[in-house]
């Protein structure tokens, strides 16, 4: 079971300490039951952690998680014990990483740990949202419903990813092909033409001079350019590990023209879907918002959701906090207000998620339709410039030779 360091408020006093818990949200719920207000909860990285940490550097695909969730739902509904079900799925898994993970989970169950705590040792595979829904299903005795909800949520997440990949596959392929073509032309092709042109000593058109200058720069400093590219990638990876930089980066993403609007709707779809699932599973609202903020995938929006959670702890309504967060459209705010009044928040959040999904699908299609002609125009301009730079001198070679 993972260990966490925490700080909490009790009246005017602030206390801190370390505890074992299945997840950060479970520890937050435990502190709340003791009359404490959680302030910070951070996992403690242990040097001698067992196989769960060793597997953290490997991954399990989303499709495999969906299959596992469906299988667990079916086995739990059939009345098969959790330990036996996990052992069975570990033996039948074709992915060695998944098999090792489930074997370790089964060993933890046999040692007397609860299911959520066993899953919590493999956070690279099972998210905090996944663990919390399993925890509630385990406590209520409805494991089949819990896994069915998780499977449905993951299927929606997979569908969203597929839409994004389908919309960006063609532009990314074209941009990669153009980049490779530019490098090959500047390093291998243009220098050969430059050698031919230099033998005649004639004045070259400005287009030819420009592409020769760029080619000379590539040939002379290709190693410097490669080094700068590597340094930039390393710097970007290191910067993304910094929480403040990551928040600024995620905030900037939402301001990108056209693309930012699509990303915002994708994140809000995740919020509505995950919040509806944890609400329907019986997770308390405050704890559920903490879990949902980690499932959104954008640190800036996660901070706004955490602000909502703090406001709700102070006694404000969900709708009021959602309005002050300035994340949701008026239609969704109205749905949340009706859901809060009627007690059907989960149903209306699912409708809001469907509303956002339709908007995402429409805008992704519009993005693809807009990018295709822009890419074609860009390629045409590049080809025209290269053709003029190369062939204009060739057309004059005959006259220059005479």
Which of residues 92, 124, 155 is at a domain's end?
155
Confidence check: pLDDT of 27 > 80: no
382 in a structural domain: yes
Q: How confident is the model at residue 336 (pLDDT cuts 50, 70, 90)?
A: confident
- At 197 the pLDDT is 73
Whether residues 33 and 93 share a domain: the answer is no
Count up the domains in the chain and report the number.
Answer: 3
- At 24 the pLDDT is 67
Q: How confident is the model at residue 201 (pLDDT cuts 50, 70, 90)?
A: low
- At 397 the pLDDT is 64
Whether residues 143 and 72 share a domain: the answer is yes
- Between CA 186 and CA 184 the distance in angstroms is 6
Q: How confident is the model at residue 338 (pLDDT cuts 50, 70, 90)?
A: confident
- Between CA 82 and CA 147 the distance in angstroms is 12
- In the chain, the largest separation of any two C-alpha atoms, in whole Å, equals 97
Confidence check: pLDDT of 48 > 50: no
109 in a structural domain: yes
Whether residues 75 and 32 share a domain: the answer is no
Mean pLDDT of the chain: 81
Confidence check: pLDDT of 254 > 70: yes
pLDDT digits (tens, 9 = 90+) for 77-112: 888 888 899 988 988 888 888 988 999 888 888 888
Whether residues 27 and 97 share a domain: the answer is no
- Lowest-pLDDT range, 167-181, 191-205, 225-239, 325-339? 191-205
Predicted TM-score (pTM) of this structure? 0.70
Distances (CA, A) of 359 to 1, 153, 290, 334, 352: 41, 18, 26, 17, 11
Q: 231: domain range?
A: 170-402
- Lowest-pLDDT range, 52-56, 82-86, 229-233, 301-305? 52-56
Whether residues 184 and 149 share a domain: the answer is no
Whether residues 178 and 145 share a domain: the answer is no
- Nearest-CA neighbor of 136 among 115, 111, 151, 164? 115
235 in a structural domain: yes
Confidence check: pLDDT of 51 > 50: no
- Between CA 126 and CA 339 the distance in angstroms is 30
Whether residues 247 and 368 share a domain: the answer is yes
Whether residues 141 and 193 share a domain: the answer is no
- Between CA 250 and CA 266 the distance in angstroms is 13
H or E element: which one contains 247? helix 243-253
What percent of the chain is modeled with pLDDT above 90? 6
Whether residues 104 and 243 share a domain: the answer is no
pLDDT digits (tens, 9 = 90+) for 366-376: 777 777 888 88
Q: What is the 3-state secondary structure (H, E, C) of 90-118?
A: HHHCCCHHHHHHHHHHHHHHHCCCCHHHH
50 in a structural domain: no
Confidence check: pLDDT of 173 > 60: yes
- At 52 the pLDDT is 44
- DSSP code per residue over 321-383: HHHHHT-S-HHHHHHHHHHHHHT-HHHHHHHHHHHHHHHHHHHHHHHHHHHHHHHHHHHHHHH
- The CATH number linked to 94 is 1.20.81.30
52 in a structural domain: no
Report the pLDDT averaged over residues 128-146. Answer: 85
164 in a structural domain: no
Whether residues 9 and 105 share a domain: the answer is no
Confidence check: pLDDT of 59 > 50: yes
Three-state DSSP at 282 gives coil
372 in a structural domain: yes
- At 58 the pLDDT is 55
- Residue 290 token pair: 């903490």
- Nearest-CA neighbor of 280 among 347, 352, 351, 340? 347
- At 67 the pLDDT is 92
49 in a structural domain: no
Whether residues 263 and 138 share a domain: the answer is no
What percent of the chain is modeled with pLDDT above 70? 91
- At 40 the pLDDT is 72
Whether residues 237 and 179 share a domain: the answer is yes
Residue with the larger pLDDT of the pair 166 and 49: 166
- Lowest-pLDDT range, 54-58, 243-247, 253-257, 307-311? 54-58
- Lowest-pLDDT range, 46-50, 132-136, 302-306? 46-50
Confidence check: pLDDT of 231 > 90: yes
Q: How confident is the model at residue 47 (pLDDT cuts 50, 70, 90)?
A: very low
Report the pLDDT averaged over residues 177-189. Answer: 84
- At 71 the pLDDT is 92
């Amino acid at each position: 079971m993972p260990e966490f360091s925490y700080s909490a408020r009790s009246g005017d006093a602030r206390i801190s300490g370390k505890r074992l818990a299945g997840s950060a949200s479970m520890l937050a719920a435990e502190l709340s039951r003791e009359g404490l207000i959680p302030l910070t909860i951070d996992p403690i990285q242990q040097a001698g952690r067992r196989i769960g940490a060793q597997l953290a550097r490997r991954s399990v695909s989303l499709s495999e998680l969906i299959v596992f969730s469906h299988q667990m739902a079916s086995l739990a509904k059939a009345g098969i014990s959790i330990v036996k079900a996990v052992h069975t799925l570990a033996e039948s898994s074709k992915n060695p990483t998944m098999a090792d993970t489930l074997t370790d989970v089964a060993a933890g169950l046999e040692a007397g740990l609860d299911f959520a705590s066993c899953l919590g040792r493999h956070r690279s595979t099972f998210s905090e949202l996944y663990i919390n829904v399993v925890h509630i299903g385990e406590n209520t005795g409805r494991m089949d419903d819990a896994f069915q909800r998780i499977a449905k949520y993951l299927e929606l997440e997979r569908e969203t990813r597929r839409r994004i990949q389908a919309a960006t596959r063609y532009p990314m392929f074209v941009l990669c092909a153009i980049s490779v073509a530019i490098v090959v032309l500047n390093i291998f092709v243009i220098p050969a033409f430059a050698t031919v042109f230099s033998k005649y000593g004639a004045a070259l058109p400005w287009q030819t001079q420009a592409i020769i200058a760029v080619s000379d720069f590539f040939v002379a400093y290709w190693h410097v350019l490669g080094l700068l590219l590597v340094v930039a990638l390393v710097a970007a990876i290191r910067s993304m590990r910094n929480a403040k930089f990551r928040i600024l980066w995620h905030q900037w993403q939402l301001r990108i023209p056209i693309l930012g609007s699509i990303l915002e709707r994708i994140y809000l779809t995740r919020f509505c879907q995950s919040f509806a699932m944890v609400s329907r599973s019986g997770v308390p609202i405050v704890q559920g918002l903490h879990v949902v903020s980690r499932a959104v995938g954008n640190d800036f929006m996660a901070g706004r959701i955490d602000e909502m959670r703090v406001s709700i702890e102070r006694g404000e309504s969900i709708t009021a906090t959602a309005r002050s967060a300035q994340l949701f459209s008026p239609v969704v705010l109205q749905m949340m207000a009706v859901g809060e009044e009627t007690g059907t928040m989960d149903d209306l959040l699912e409708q809001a998620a469907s509303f956002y999904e339709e908007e995402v699908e429409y805008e992704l299609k519009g993005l693809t339709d807009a990018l295709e002609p822009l890419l074609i125009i860009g390629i045409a301009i590049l080809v025209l410039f290269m053709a003029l730079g190369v062939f204009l001198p060739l057309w004059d070679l005959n006259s220059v030779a005479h």
